[in-house]
Amino acid sequence: MMNHNKEEYISSYISKLLRKKFGKGPQSCRTAVTGNHLVTYIRGFLTPMEDILLQQGQNKYVDGARTVIINHLLDEIKGVVQVTLDVEVEETYHDWNFPNNSGILIFVLGEEVGQVIKEDIDIQRVELEIGRISMLVEKVPDNIQIYPISPSICLIERKGILVQIEKALIANGFQRELRFTKDELEKGYFHRYGKFEDIFNKVVSDIFVDWNFKEDKSLMAFILHS
């Protein structure tokens, strides 16, 4: 079973690093490790400058600037995770919901280091609903995997989700524009048209999504509350 002191140490390290680099730390930063996934849920992390820019409708600028900084910090956080848990980090993902002032960091580990939990989730219904909404904005994924992380976090892995025009945009160097557009579009559809609160029997307070375009893969995170 994962030592909670290690989860708390990673949370504290990330919180202090964000404060050091942004000049403001998050109100809360909580980490959970289950199976081969480490997830850090961050709340209350919006700098005064970002807040002003968002009020002026500069969402794309704020998203782009934060992505550049976070991608730079992920290498340092990745090293801390690897040393703390004695495991390799194979992939990293992150996403931010500025209206909710929240964000998430996801690390895919090289092996299982945390106990796999069994949540009372109707896996088939979740997969069908993920496929249905995905089809509305792109295509039904070739493969869908569900990873309950904690009673309040559920990860969804989708493989084989890109359509040909998206692949062409990526090949022509439009990854940044595509990522920003897909982020707004997908989260909007999953929030508005998804029936996930009925399926999870919990309130969905946040939905996050990020992509590994090279591997044609996406990780989603549902933040749930009873």
Give the domain extent around 103: 4-109
Going by pLDDT thresholds of 50, 70 and 90, the confidence category of residue 40 is very high
Which residues touch 27 (CB under 8 Å, ≥6 apart)?
Answer: 43, 44, 45
Going by pLDDT thresholds of 50, 70 and 90, the confidence category of residue 115 is confident
Reference 33, options 98, 121, 124, 111; nearest CA is 111
Mean pLDDT of 135-156: 95
DSSP string over the chain: ---HHHHHHHHHHHHHHHHHHHS---SEEEEEEEBTEEEEEEES---HHHHHHHHTT-HHHHHHHHHHHHHHHHHHHHHHHHHHHTS-EEEEEEEEEGGGTEEEEEEEESS--BPPP-----HHHHHHHHHHHHHHHS---SEEEEEEEETTEEEEEEES---HHHHHHHHTT-HHHHHHHHHHHHHHHHHHH--HHHHHTSEEEEEEEEEEGGGTEEEEEEEEE-
pLDDT tens for 48-96 read 899 999 999 998 899 989 999 999 999 999 999 999 999 999 999 999 9
Mean pLDDT of 162-170: 95
pLDDT at position 116, please? 81
pLDDT at position 106 over 90: yes
Half-sphere exposure (Cβ direction) of 196: Cα atoms closer than 13 Å: 29
Reference 122, options 104, 146, 99; nearest CA is 146
Reference 148, options 15, 47, 37; nearest CA is 37
Going by pLDDT thresholds of 50, 70 and 90, the confidence category of residue 119 is confident
The residue among 76, 109, 142 that closes a domain is: 109
226 vs 123, more confident:
123
The residue among 69, 86, 109 that closes a domain is: 109
Q: Do residue 146 and residue 195 come from a single domain?
A: yes
Q: Do residue 20 and residue 80 come from a single domain?
A: yes
CATH code (residue 42): 3.30.980
Mean pLDDT of 96-115: 93
Half-sphere exposure (Cβ direction) of 29: Cα atoms closer than 13 Å: 19
pLDDT at position 2 over 70: no
Mean pLDDT of 149-178: 95
Cα angle 182-143-173, degrees, rounded to a multiple of 5: 35
Q: In this structure, is residue 142 part of a structural domain?
A: yes
Going by pLDDT thresholds of 50, 70 and 90, the confidence category of residue 1 is very low
Residue whose pair of structure tokens reads 């976070």 in the numeric block:
70
Q: Which residues pair with 97 in a beta bridge?
A: 102
In the numeric block, which tokens belong to residue 41?
A: 């849920």
Q: Do residue 97 and residue 128 come from a single domain?
A: no
Q: In this structure, is residue 35 part of a structural domain?
A: yes
pLDDT at position 132, please? 97
pLDDT at position 16 over 90: yes
pLDDT at position 222 over 70: yes
Q: In this structure, is residue 118 part of a structural domain?
A: no
Query: pTM for this structure?
Result: 0.94
Distance CA 151, CA 223 (A): 9
